Amino acid sequence: MTGRALVLGASGGIGAALAAALEQRGNTVTRLSRSQDGFDLADPDSVAAGLERLDGPFDSLLIASGILAPPDSRPEKSLAEIEARSMAQVLAVNAIGPALVLRHAPRLLPRRGRSVVGVLTARVGSIGDNRLGGWYSYRAAKAAANQIVHTAAIELARTHAEAVVVALHPGTVETAFTQDYPAHKKVAAAQAAANLLDVLDGLGPEQSGQFFDWAGQVVPW
């Protein structure tokens, strides 16, 4: 996968690793993030301003931003912990933000030739794979993001026949995002990035709109 790449959330652990890996593979990478560029997925005006100033086409578009819970909070363990404002923040970043980005995909992707859009969601967003419960806001937001990706893939296929638009589960990665969960087996961010890029390299337009994990296995909706 070479050419021009756009990585959103490029200052985070996975986003930074993806940008670095893409450059190592010969891509010219454009990075956007909240901490370095003020690119805030929870702010529609910020998303519009950040993307409207870019000139495409980009061969790769990767959305690597997300939050487990608002600052000074944690994912809910029970129904009693659900709080409307917190849930709205999680949905804004993890679901509405990617949707706002995908609004710009028809302009940012090439009309001819292969292109890829990878949106990092999470296995916990799978309804079919949910066995433990809890994490209501995060699960709901990632499930919503998966539906947005699937629907966007259908629309983009009408005008960008060779585009591959997929949701991706990176596994549990060693980042600040997961530092409060020591019991989970984790993989280094650089390895996670390499895994995800290998998966994207192996996909064709016929697999657009699906949900894959870091090993290239289909994750149930």
Those residues of the chain that have pLDDT short of 70 are: 1-2, 175-184
* CATH of the domain spanning 4-213: 3.40.50.720
**What is the pTM for the complete model shown?**
0.92
Q: Whose CA is closest to 61, among 119, 135, 142, 124?
A: 119
In this structure, are residues 70 and 90 in contact, taking their beta carbons and an 8 Å threshold? yes
In this structure, are residues 11 and 190 in contact, taking their beta carbons and an 8 Å threshold? no
Q: What angle do CA 210, 138, 82 make, to 5 degrees?
A: 145
User: What pLDDT was estimated at residue 173?
Assistant: 86
Q: What angle do CA 219, 99, 135 make, to 5 degrees?
A: 50
User: What pLDDT was estimated at residue 76?
Assistant: 97
User: What pLDDT was estimated at residue 180?
Assistant: 60
Cβ neighbours around 80 below 10 Å, total = 7
Instruction: Report the percent of the chain where pLDDT is more than 70.
Output: 95
User: What pLDDT was estimated at residue 184?
Assistant: 63
Query: Using CA atoms, how far apart are residues 164 and 115, in angstroms rounded to an integer?
Result: 6
